[in-house]
Amino acid sequence: MSDQAPAGEFLVFRIQGQEFCLEIGAVREIRSATKAVPLPNAPVEFKGVINLRGTVLPIVDMASRLGLAVVSAPTNPVIIVAESGERLVGLEVDIVDDIISVRQAEIQSIPTIPTGGIQEFVCGIVNISNRLICLLAVDRLLPAEKAAAE
């Protein structure tokens, strides 16, 4: 999987102390989190919807989506508006760090460790200046994908 991942620029963000990144091309914009309107009977990681300049955008709580224990609630959570194909989704994360340039060689495949869950969303690991950054696959994060898989 990771071998095919194109090298390029990646947006790095943090969720509960861990670093993750997305290919910059998949990121539409970054905005501070606003209160989402919860949808009835929705899965817990699906926070609800917000108004993004007239578009009704679903918000995924990334900590909950990735199954990370919430140690401390973020003070100023951020929404990364990401696109996958035609669809838009808002990913709520703790903080956005920076944008990094990564060469192909710096992307490794995920080690086979019996963690379960999070591997589902990670398509590679960026190993750069002693940082461990998980490269996320947007399409696997979308709620519909989850609904279809279940």
Q: How far is the CB of 148 from other proteins (least distance, A)?
A: 9
Nearer to other proteins, 19 or 139 (CB): 139
Q: How many angstroms separate the CA atoms of 119 and 108, rounded?
A: 13
Which residue, 60 or 78, has its beta carbon nearer to other proteins? 60
Q: Which distant-in-sequence residues (6+ apart) come within 8 Å of 75 by Cβ?
A: none
Between CA 17 and CA 26 the distance in angstroms is 23
The nearer residue to other proteins, 14 or 28, going by C-beta atoms, is: 28
Max CA-CA distance within the chain? 45
Q: Min. distance of Cβ 57 from other proteins in angstroms? A: 6
* Least distance to other proteins, CB of residue 32, Å: 15
Q: Which amino acid is at 36?
A: A
Task: Indicate whether 110 belongs to the interface with other proteins (CB under 8 A).
Answer: no
Name the minimum Å distance from CB 39 to other proteins: 6
How does DSSP classify residue 146?
H
Beta carbon of residue 7, minimum distance to other proteins (angstroms, whole number): 21
CB of 37 or CB of 95, closer to other proteins: 37
- DSSP for 77-120? -EEEEEEETTEEEEEEESEEEEEEEE-GGGEEPPP--TT-SGGG
Q: Which stretch binds other proteins (CB under 8 A): 16-24, 45-53, 104-112, 120-128?
A: 45-53
DSSP H or E stretch at residue 73:
none
Q: Which residues bind other proteins (CB under 8 A)?
A: 37-42, 46, 49-51, 53-58, 87-89, 142-144, 147
